[in-house]
A and B are shown apart, each in its own frame.
Chain A
Amino acid sequence: MVRVITSALRYRAALQISPLSLALLFFLVGPVIMIMIMSFYEFTGFMTVPDATLENYIELFTSSLTGVNYLQTLKMVGITWVVTLVLGFTLAYFLVFDLVELRTKLLLFLLCVVPFWTSSVIRMVAWVPFLGKEGIINKFVIWTGISAEPLQFLLFSEFAVFLSYIQIFTLFMMAPLFNVMARINRDLIEAARDNGASGIQILWHVIIPLCKPGIAIGTIFVVSLVASDFAAVSLLGGQRVGTVSISMIIQMNMAQYPPSSATGVILLVVVLLIVGGIMRMVDVRKQL
């Protein structure tokens, strides 16, 4: 009798998970397999021929552009990660530990989250009237005499892309940090203080270690979002910023599917390795 029930339960769970599994099979696993197959096809320069060649990968690994692109991507990821981590941590700390009333905390937290549910394309465009040659910052710079010429590095530059990344992605670091900080038992902090720990010591030896899962989740988000972005780079980077994702998109738009696929496969492998490494250190599932 018991066995019948458990098998019925198991059958029901299989039924419940199948729609999700099918959707992911069709729109994630399938496409990735397609790309893997395509990456072994031959590209003659204007045509794609079914084949089983390593040419695309050899081309990719021997091209000097690959290294340049990966360095650029690494730089974008690294700087964005450091800034969003420090900023996100401080913001979350302010909300959790500096504010007293729960209602204020939640309200201000929501104010930080709301832009996430609005258009990121529009939020990128919104930097143009700020940073342009005739933009607000340059008007101010010339008016105050800080510089006689408008600053050129503001728009269509790496700087603009960073600004946009920090604006859009800080939330992804801050929200998980807010979540873990809010769960820190205040008695621990009291205990540390009673034992004579200074503010810095409490931060370093109590709060930050307890924040590790939040940092891990935030890092997963920021790394994968920056590595995958091409919209901000193409809109605000002014063709001066060459990342791996951009090179993949350019190859794609020129219908060079096999080399584009090889680029995509390697990028996916790199992102999965980084995220896999983080998930080995911290049990993300326990944080839900």
Chain B
Amino acid sequence: MSQRAEFRRAPGYWPRAALFYVYLLFLYGPILIIAVLSFQGPLASMTFPMQGLSLHWFSEVVDPGGFSRQDFRMPFVRSLILAIIVMVLTMGLSFLAGLAFRKSFKGNIVVFYVVVASLIAPSALISLGIGLGFNELGLQSQWYTGALGAHLSWTLPFGVLIMLAIFSRLDPSLEEAARDQGATEWQTLRNVIVPITLPGLIGVALFGFTLSYDEYPRTSTIVGEFNTLPVEVMNTINIAATPVIYAIGTMTTLFSLLVIFASFLAVYIIQKRRTGAGLGIARKAAKADSS
């Protein structure tokens, strides 16, 4: 009680707290507004006041009639497939690179700087360069070739930097212990390194998936004949402004939130199991001790 009375907020606490919550409103407000606006009736405008209440625009997305020029279904499937491929490649390549960087191989500084360059390179430059490369080979870049590469140029830096951070926190004595106990390299990797770095790997997967699923600037000019979802959405905005944009925006954001939630849940379960297992061992040891 007395401790509570003594507890004083630092000067400037309330302005900072206010700024923080206003920032959150600024961050989420617009997207919440378009979520609300996507429930309008068929004769809707792009803004308030709402014209009726219906699921019309959602049904336009899920099942566009014969008259509708905008069909988001295949672009969604393409983006989903592409995101899964990019996620798997980003995880694999970043993990292997993380392992390599631990032993500081020849040229590690060059590779590190190229990774950073990949992160900061202007988007238009990447897509123009890839497009020109495909032209040179007499091919047309498609969403599953050139755009896939452009996505990797964006997701790999995040993946590699996360893995570097994870591996720099990995205690080498754990591996030494495994090796001392007679584990082979492969066993050490499989039973020690992978399980310990698993939450980080899930983080890499989340970055790989979402950054690819939402990628627009590096994709737009090299997507080929068939659009990914962000490119299709951007084209729709330029052609016709109807609340169907809000409906697809709401749905794709919900989908992203679902993916984020799933990966957090996975990390949470892993951590819980880990401490749970740790506690179990400790309890057993305590029991053996007392008996």
Q: Which residues from chain A sit less than 8 Å from chain B, CB to CB?
A: 9-10, 12-14, 16-17, 19-21, 23-24, 26-35, 38, 87, 90-91, 93-95, 97-98, 108, 111-112, 114-115, 117-123, 125-130, 132, 134-136, 139, 167, 170, 199, 220, 223-224, 227-231, 235, 245, 248-249, 252-253, 257, 260-261, 264, 267-268, 271-272, 275, 279, 284-285, 288
Question: How many pairs, one residue from A and one from B, have CB atoms within 8 Å of each other in the complex?
Answer: 265
Q: B6-18 CB contact bits vs A (8 Å, 1 = yes)?
A: 0001111100110
Interface residue stretch chosen among B28-36, B62-70, B174-182, B271-279: B28-36
B216 in contact with A121 (CB, 8 Å) = yes
A98 in contact with B13 (CB, 8 Å) = yes
B19 in contact with A125 (CB, 8 Å) = no
A271-B122 CB under 8 A given contacts A24-B153, A114-B260: yes
Q: Kindly name the residue among B27, B106, B253 whose own CB sees the greatest number of chain A CB atoms within 10 A.
A: B27
A119-B230 CB under 8 A given contacts A220-B120, A268-B122: yes
Complex CA–CA separation, A264 to B221 (angstroms):
15
Contact of A24 among B108, B156, B217, B241 (CB under 8 A): B156
Q: Which residues from chain B sit less than 8 Å from chain A, CB to CB?
A: 9-13, 16-17, 19-20, 23-24, 26-31, 33-34, 37, 45-48, 89, 92-94, 96-97, 99-101, 103, 105-106, 108, 111-112, 114-126, 128-130, 132-133, 136, 149-150, 152-153, 156, 160-161, 164-165, 168, 206-207, 210-211, 213-214, 216-217, 220-221, 230, 233-234, 237, 241, 245-246, 249, 252-253, 256-257, 259-260
Contact of B152 among A14, A23, A121 (CB under 8 A): A23
Contact of B122 among A13, A98, A267 (CB under 8 A): A267
- What are 22 A-B interface contacts by the 8 Å CB criterion? A17-B96, A19-B92, A28-B117, A35-B128, A91-B20, A94-B20, A98-B13, A111-B24, A111-B27, A114-B260, A118-B31, A121-B216, A122-B34, A125-B245, A128-B241, A129-B34, A261-B132, A264-B124, A264-B125, A268-B122, A275-B120, A284-B116
